[in-house]
Amino acid sequence: MTKNNRANFGSKLGVILASAGSAVGLGNIWRFPFETGNHGGAAFILIYLGCVLFFGIPIMVAEFSIGRHSRANTAGAYRILAPGTQWRWVGRMGVLAGFLILGYYSVVAGWTLEYIVQAATNAFAGQSANDFIASFNGFVSNPWRPALWMIVFMLMTHFIIVKGVERGIEKSAKIMMPMLFILLIVLAVCSISLPGAGAGIEFLLKPDFSKVNGNVLLGAMGQAFFSLSLGMGCLCTYASYFRNDTNLTKTALNVGWIDTMVAILAGFIIFPAAFSVGIQPDAGPSLLFITLPNVFQQAFGNLPWLAVILSIMFYVLLALAALTSTISLHEVVTAYLHEEFNLTRGRAAKLVTAGCTVLGVLCSLSLGVGKELTIFGLTLFDLFDFVTAKIMLPLGGFFIAIFTGWYLDKRIVWEEVSNNGTLPKAIYRTWLFLLKYIAPIGIGFIFINELGFLK
Ligand code: TRP
């Protein structure tokens, strides 16, 4: 496999948008609010921001370096950079994490399609907050509908994956990202101006550190890795398609910034509205889907046509944001099978799609008919979320930090990170310090603390 026959991202804007497209998704708009709600609000957000800054950005630069230097899928990258060592297991664990995440992520992505249809058929009109809760619960526990939507979403992902990297990923990201951003701002303004929204704003801005415990720390760290698409070789695989003159540090800062802005905006949409209509902030995975229809109802009650247009736009853009993320997850596993097992890209993609569809159907059923079937007290859906976001991704990030900070030849690291010597030395040294010490020690501390050894 030479550098020449692999695809490349075309323009610089394309690089940022594709990586940001991977990062921005349901993690920001669906998962961030419900994790924030489960973990008490503002204090969680501050810890989350710390995790993004001190673990996330440095590890993102490390993943970019590994990917671009090796020009290979994530498992192949370790085979090339550390031949004959056990480091390849970091890559393999990442591939497995990607597979599991795609399994349950596509279930939620499927829900967005259902909500596009509901928005388009004006199903939200005249309903109360309790109606929205009942209709959501009825929908997810139905054995067929959510599973079928999940399959539709999986096929959409499959289609773009086989069409190739540049045309598929770059184009969809270029159009949808700016539109999504503008719509989120509009909705945040609407939500903040609802009666009684102040309590929600307070929830977002007034930290109560007395509620911070090991679970809050683990939740914030897991959310940072999940939202930034880190710790499993996703951005590593994308970086293998970067051009040699792509500035890795700038790209990482841009992606981190955009991703964080979208999550915070989502918070300012969800919580003011939730408090305004009396939905509990710790409603869990249903939070986005039971809160948002209220915003459309309450804010545009006298302009029903506007409510319909905006709600369709929102769910379409949400589905597209999810699509650029499922593409990136699918790509990790597909590139791995394609390059490591000599399968054609098409066949590799088919295997991934088939496998994830099975996982996805099981996850979907685990919220309805399979509710009683729990492992460690968690449904399959919750188990996949927990194991990937809170264990596998931070663990992967830990090893990526050690690999790049301690193991990899510093000439290679400097060459990649500095873009052939154009980065100021002070920034490089700060980055290396965060990567070698702060990130691994911080991640290790949160893990050990969660296990209860420090009590
Ligand atoms: N970051 C995406 C989101 O916020 C989800 C995602 C895409 C992801 N690729 C990933 C999460 C890789 C973890 C690892 O929706």
The single-letter DSSP state of residue 285 is G
CA atoms of 3 and 406, how far apart (whole Å): 26
Cα 127 to ligand 1 centroid, rounded to whole Å: 33
Buried-state track 326-346, b at ≥16 Cβ within 10 A, e below 16: bbbbbbbbbbbbbbbeebeee
Per-residue pLDDT of the chain (455 residues; tens, 9 = 90+): 333 456 666 566 667 778 998 999 999 999 999 999 999 999 999 999 999 999 999 999 999 999 999 999 999 999 999 999 999 999 999 999 999 999 999 999 999 999 999 999 998 888 999 999 999 999 999 999 999 999 999 999 998 888 765 565 666 677 788 889 999 999 999 999 999 999 999 999 999 999 899 999 999 999 999 999 999 999 999 899 888 888 999 999 999 999 999 999 999 999 999 999 999 999 999 999 999 999 988 888 788 899 999 999 999 999 999 998 999 999 999 999 999 999 998 999 999 999 999 999 999 999 998 888 888 889 999 999 999 999 999 999 999 999 999 999 999 999 999 987 889 999 999 999 999 999 999 999 999 998 876 65
Q: What pLDDT is stored for residue 9 in this prediction?
A: 65
Structure tokens at 322: 């999810």
Instruction: Name the residue with the closest Cα to ligand 1, atom 7.
Output: 325
Any atom of ligand 1 within 6 Å of the Cβ of 328? yes
CA dihedral sign, ordered 41, 42, 47, 52: positive
* Helix/strand/coil percent split, the chain, to 5: 75, 0, 20
Contacts of 130 (CB under 8 A, 6+ apart): none
Structure tokens at 340: 């490591």
CA atoms of 307 and 244, how far apart (whole Å): 46
Instruction: Name the residue with the closest Cα to ligand 1, atom 6.
Output: 229
CA atoms of 230 and 215, how far apart (whole Å): 20
- Is residue 439 within 8 A of residue 55, CB to CB? The reply is yes
- What is the radius of gyration, based on Cα positions, of the chain? 21
Q: What is the four-CA torsion angle of 174, 178, 179, 182, rounded to 10 degrees? A: 180
- Is residue 433 within 8 A of residue 405, CB to CB? The reply is no
378 φ, ψ (degrees, to nearest 5): -115, 145
Mutational test site, ligand 1, from 176, 255, 329, max ligand atoms within 8 Å of CB:
329
Q: What pLDDT is stored for residue 373 in this prediction?
A: 85
Ligand 1 atom closest to Cα of 97? Answer: 14
Any atom of ligand 1 within 6 Å of the Cβ of 238? no
Any atom of ligand 1 within 6 Å of the Cβ of 27? yes
170 φ, ψ (degrees, to nearest 5): -65, -45
CA atoms of 52 and 72, how far apart (whole Å): 26
201 φ, ψ (degrees, to nearest 5): -65, -40
- Is residue 400 within 8 A of residue 74, CB to CB? The reply is no
Cα 228 to ligand 1 centroid, rounded to whole Å: 6
Any atom of ligand 1 within 6 Å of the Cβ of 232? yes
Q: What pLDDT is stored for residue 370 in this prediction?
A: 84
Contacts of 307 (CB under 8 A, 6+ apart): 124, 125, 296, 297, 299, 300, 301
- The residue among 86, 99, 157, 73 whose CA lies nearest residue 342 is 73
For helices 214-227 and 393-402, what crossing angle results, to 10°?
Answer: 70
C-beta neighbour count of 300 within 10 angstroms: 17
Cα 256 to ligand 1 centroid, rounded to whole Å: 13
- Is residue 314 within 8 A of residue 111, CB to CB? The reply is no
Ligand 1 atom closest to Cα of 230? Answer: 14
Q: What pLDDT is stored for residue 243 in this prediction?
A: 86
**Which position has the token pair 């370096």?**
65
C-beta neighbour count of 418 within 10 angstroms: 18
Mutational test site, ligand 1, from 32, 229, 327, max ligand atoms within 8 Å of CB:
229
